[in-house]
Every structure is written in C-alpha cells, then in structure tokens.
Chains A and B, each alone.
Chain A
Amino acid sequence: MVEFRVFRFDPEKNKEPEFQSYEFDPYKGMTILEGLYYILENLDSSLAFRSSCREAVCGSCAMHINGIYRLACKTQIEILKSPITIRPLSHLPVIKDLVVDLTPFFNHFKEIKPYLIPKESPPEKEYIQSVKEREKINDWLDCILCGACYGSCPVCAQDDKYLGPHALLKALRFVDDSRDGGAKERIAFVTQNSGVFRCHTIFNCREVCPKDLDPTKAIAKLKLKAVFKKF
C-alpha cells in the first residue's frame, strides 16, 4: 500500500487549498504519474494534473513531490517514502489541484526573442557549422519548459519581472550559436534590470532540472560575456 497526499484546490468550491489522501496498491515500476491516473480512473474523477509524453520529454508534469521538484512520469513510487506528498509548482497561481498557470513563465520566455536572428542570409544549402561550434550549444538545447527551475527559484518568487532560468538559458543557446547574429542585442536585453544580475547564484535551478541542465552556469556565462563584451 502507498498513500498519496495530494494538494487539492477547486476554485469553484474551495477558498483555501487542502490535502487529500488516497491509498492503493502500486504495481512494480509504477510511476507517480501512473499513480495519479490510478486515482483519477478509480478513486476520484475530480483530480486535475497535466501530462502527455510519460517519458520525460514534454515538460507537462513537473510537481513538488516529497520535498523535491520532479517530473511525475519519471519518478518511481518505490523510491519514495509513503505517504508521498504531492504539490503543484510554487509561486505560480494554482488553476486547479496540481495545475498551475504558466503564463508568466512563458511570457518571459517569449521576451528574449527565442528564435534565430540570422547572422547572414541563408546559403542555398545548410549553414556550415563545425562539430566544435555545434558542441558549444549542446548543453543549452534540451530544455523542455517544465517550469521546475522557475518554481524552485527564490528570485522568481520575489520578482515576477525576473526573466527566470529557463529564458536566460535559452538566450545563451542563441548567443552561442554560430549562425545567430543577435548576440549584442540579446546581451543588452538580458543585462537589463530583470535579467542576469538578479540571479544570486543559489543553484536551485541546476539542482532540480530533470534534464540535468545547468541554467546557473548559463547565467554566469551571460554575465561574463556582458562584462567582458565577448560575444
């Protein structure tokens, strides 16, 4: 038997959130996400949560599970101590239960012009990019926009204008791309008030990122580039 203690909030019913407990027998290899589906389909049809890929690539299911931000689909029940407490991502408005409003998170992402600004007009075939140049962006590519870093960052909690680890990571992804010509403009943008210098290097984002990305390092790199004007 395992017990899930799930954060519940229904704007149509509750003023305050509450925790609700569910008990069931997990099978071997069952994930937290599969547990939530078990509850929805057998115990409580009112439960709300997001999911899609069930394989840790779509970013839908980041939640706060037994004290740590994790992807529900990638987390096995058997590695956790029961009761398992499940909450939504922090400091984003809760829509219902484990579903939060990610609008601020996505808006910040859009602010950094998250698309290639070509350095030169495109050749007839592909831009030539050496293996080394490609390697330079490799560490910044895999963000699945799950929001775990944003939810865990105390600066995001205090300052809703702060761009956030995900957006800054993406900015570096383009600054470091040999095909992008927007570095100057990008650095100028991320060094404004709500940009890189708001980061206090607390490392939460790096710790929680389910894709093992290092936004802290990306932010540090952007800071260096800004200071030494090397881009």
Chain B
Amino acid sequence: MLFHEVLIIGGGLAGLRAAIEVAEMGRDVAVVSKIHPMRSHSGEAQGGINASLANVEKGKEDSKEKHWYDTVKGSDFLADQDASEILTAQAPEVIFEMEHWGCPFSRTPEGKIAQRPFGGAGLPRTCYAADKTGLYLLQTVWEQNIKHNVKVYEEWVVLGLATEDGKCCGVVSMDFLSGELIAIGANAVIFATGGIGRIYANTTNAITNTGLAISIPYWVGVPLKDMEFIQFHPTSLARTHILMTEGCRGEGGYLRNKDGERFMSRYVSEKVMELGPRDIVARSIQTEINEGRGFPDGTVHLDLTHLGAKKILERLPGIRDICMNFIGIDPIYEPIPITPGMHYIMGGIETDKDGQTPMEGFLAAGECACISTHGANRLGGNSLLETVVFGERAGKKAGEYVKDKDKKTKTKALEDALKREQDTIEKFRKGGGEENPYKIKDELAKLMVKRFGLFRQEKDMKTGLEEIRKLKERFKKIRPVFGGKVFNLDLLSFYEIKANLDAAEAEAVSAIARKETRGSHYRTDFNKRDDENWLKHTLATYTPEGPKLSYKPVTITKFQPEVRKY
C-alpha cells in the first residue's frame, strides 16, 4: 500500500502552495490530482491578486488595515475577522515570494509590480500580470514543485476518505489511466480541490469543478459551512459564461443597457459606478435585464471600445482573444454581450484559520475550504490570495502535525474504505433502472440557476429543494455505468453527479433557513440584514435523510458591523 506523511488532494494554486511548504519542512509529501496540475482551474484566473503594496500613485495611501477593512465590509460582516486579518496582513509577503520565484507580474514605470483597481476597494490594490494572472501564478508554483521534486499522482481521482477512530488516515483513489482503485495511507490529508461551479448551468468555472470537491469529506461527517453564499460574477460572456474579468471594469470599461445608458448610476454612487462590489453589480445587471432594459438576447453590454486598441492589447489581450474566438466579436470595436454567471463559493469545508477541519488529520485550503475570510461576499482578487496564504498555512500545520507520528499505514481502515468504493462502483455497474444521469446533471444545474440565483425567496427555494430531492430519487434509478477500466469518463461523471446533488442539497437547506439578506444571499422576502438573529455561520452536517443544520458565532475582533453602503 502506498503511504505519504502528508497527502495533498488537488494540484491548483492552494494544493501546490501547500506542497512546497511541506517539502521545505523536509516531510514526505505527495499531491494527488485528477487532472494534470497545469490544467487546474486556477490557471483560468484573469484579473489579479490583492495586496496593499501601494505601488501606484493612486494607491499610495493603501495599508494592510484598509485591505482588511474592505474585506470585512465586502463580506457584509460575516467574515471571521481574525482570518481576514491574516489574509490581508500576509498579502504583501506572499506576493513578493511569488515574484521572487519568477512570477512575471506586469510592471509600473519604476519596475515594481503593477496594480489595478478592482471592485469593492477604493484604491488600485490588485497586482496583475496582464489578464493572465492565474496562469502565471500556477506556472510559478508548479515550477517550484518541480524544483522540490514533489511527487504528483497525475490523473488520479480521489473518490473517498479513509478514517479510523474519527481521524483521517488516507484516501481511496482511482488511477484514471488504468482504472485501478488504490488506497493511499497518510498521517494528514489536505483537500485543495477547488470550487463546485458546475452545479450551476451558468457557471464561469471549469468543467472539472464539480460537487466532488466538497462532498467527499461531507459524506464522512465533516461539516460544510456557509453554503448559502454563492458569488455571481457580474460579467460572463453570453451563452458560454466564460469570464470577462473585473479587470475590464478596473481598466475603465462601462456597463450599458439597450438604451446605451450607464445604468450603474441607478444603484451606487457616481464615484463607484461599475466598480461596486460583485453582489451589487450583478444584481443591478439582472434587474436591468428583468425590467426589460436588456438586449433581446437577455444580455447587457460591457463596453471597452473607448479604452482604445493600445490599452486593450496591453492589459486585456486574453479577453480580446476569448471574444474573438468564442463569439466572433472584437472588443476594440464592439461591445461585449454579458450576463451574470455563477462564479465562486464563499462557503465550503469548515476549517479554522490553519485549515484544520473538525476531523483530526484532515485539513482543507483554497476555494473548497471555508475559513471564513470572505463571509457573505468575496472581493475580486482575494481568492487567489486566499489560496496561497492559506495553502501555505495548511501545509505548515500538516507538516507540524505529522512530525512525531508513526509512519505506518492504517491497513484495516484503508481496506474498508477501498471496499466501500468497490461496492459503490459495483452498484453503478449494475444500475438501478434507465434514467440518463446526464439529464439529471443538466436539470439540477438549471434548477439551481432558477431557484437559488441572484434573487431568492422562500417559496421558490422550497420548490427547488423538492426538485433536488426528486432528482436524488431518480439518481437511484440510473442506467448501468460504462464498464471499461481505462479513462472511464462515464464512471467519474456518476460520482460527480451524486456529489453535485448532495452539495446542492446542503446549499438549498442552508439558504432556506437563513431568513435575511446578507452579501450574495439576497432574499426578496427578507430584504434586510438581521444582525440580531443571523450574524452567525451555518454548518450543514450530512445525514442520509438530508443535511442537519447548526450554527457558529462570527469572530469579530475590530470592526463592528455597520450598514454596507457604496
């Protein structure tokens, strides 16, 4: 049986950053990733990563404390302030580290790291490398993994966790290229599995970002926190929902309705306009569309034409490529048709500020984790930051935790876990009827947009929950899975669809329960924030009958909740 002291699941920014930390501590570490690390979703991030470097004139007055405050205010005061403090205080350090490792940031005329404005911050604080920041950061951490000779199990999919006496002791994984099921023992496991965008039909996320990222620990008793908070990005490209970075607006792009009007003035102050925080801008766009001021194809326009060719070619070349390749529009000359799209989960696997979950030996970092630094709404540019700051911290914590542990595989627990997955696969092989699993996937993704979108209300959400539960019943009657071993996409999809259904159910139950409006969770039937009753985190724990909810206080160390106005 394979064994590593620390096993990291996920080869995106969070996982690879954690691996560097553990390797530097001299512990035996390996990464398991269902796709080659460089194919991870992190590589798609465009706009940038926040740190109060004060490198440009307009950002001279920036400070760690301002970044902290903006993050807490952006979170609608649901963020744990100790966690956001760590995030923002360590930001400059981790950006410099990335730069020292070779990340090719764009530069100011003085040769410093360039910064641009992003929504929800009064100053240009977002460090960028053209509109390919994620790709370059991912290259950089992968390069450091190569340098440290970190073992990566490429194209191995983790399907289950092994536990003994309530402690995590490894994973069950499938070598996707051979189809072999293999248990890997570990003294600590870190999940860095990313987001779950594909439970929504209108997501900006990669095809590989499914419910499996969080359902695997959920199934064995690790709670999911704040699942009702889902970020919708204001600007995703028509039909495909490929992201049009916030950098488009940061560089001066306008939003216009079918009358050519810059409608944001209706919703926020003239000073803020297109650079309001994401939840507010997304709802404003949706309101324009709902009230008949959108274009006939159900979009509004993101207009860059006044920026000029030079700026677009220099700062937003990737955006231009996407527009030309995917909808045949050149944004130098024509506006871009956009709608809001599901983008990010603020919630996820419950962890403390070192990435430790309630299960001993099991940690989480990156988008799959809820630490919670983003509370009810994440600011653009804070998520890449979270992956590296908390990837490093989780790595350090795991490295220390395993120091004086026996390097011995818990054979019995791993064999049991292996048997459990063999049984699941056997059941999939037999099938339960004739349902097409992909229909279930699509119906779920559509109903999530309709019932748990930008505007929510009790009746709709309850209908949505019933629909999810019906789909779960139908899933029991799916056709037999394709029986081949090698690169069996059908089998992976069965697991992912099962996981999507449970992740969606956790979100639905959490969302129905929260009877207030906060950040991204906007309820038309309870349209005010209610600090008296709801200044708390939701925890959803798996039971076969459905998620069981409990609550946990928010850590407030400095900023008292106030009205959130922009």
Contact = CB atoms under 8 A, between A and B. Distances in A.
Interface string B455-490: 000000000000000000000000001101111111
Nearest to B136: A141
Given A116-B102, A137-B104, A130 B143 contact: no
Interface string A119-142: 000101111111101100100011
B206 A54 contact: yes
Given A12-B484, A55-B326, A144-B135, A128 B438 contact: no
Contact of B111 (A58, A113, A128): A128
B551 interface: no
B242 interface: yes
Interface of B: 35-36, 38-41, 43-44, 53, 92, 95-96, 99-102, 104-113, 132, 135-136, 143-144, 146-147, 177, 206-208, 239-240, 242, 318, 321-322, 325-327, 436, 438, 481-482, 484-490
A60 B488 CA distance: 16
A118 interface: yes
Contacts of B322: 55-56
Contacts of B105: 126
A177 B35 contact: no
Nearest to A135: B107
B114 to A, nearest CB: 9
A3 interface: no
Interface in A49-97: 49-60, 74, 95-97
Contacts of A45: 481-482, 489-490
Nearest to A114: B143
B136 A46 contact: no
B206 A58 contact: yes
A129 B487 contact: no
Interface in A163-217: 174, 177, 179-180
Contact of B207 (A52, A96, A127, A129): A52
Contacts of B325: 56, 74
B107 A57 contact: no
Contacts of B490: 40, 45-46
Interface in A13-57: 29, 40-42, 45-57
A128 B327 CA distance: 39
A53 B206 contact: yes
A149 interface: no
Contact of B112 (A57, A126, A144): A126
A223 to B, nearest CB: 24
Contacts of B239: 29
B38 A54 contact: no
A2 to B, nearest CB: 19
Nearest to B55: A126
A129 B107 contact: yes
B413 to A, nearest CB: 31
A4 B111 CA distance: 51
A110 interface: yes
Contact of B484 (A46, A52, A130): A46
Contacts of B208: 52
Contacts of B147: 113, 115
Nearest to B179: A12
Contacts of A41: 436, 438
Contacts of B92: 125
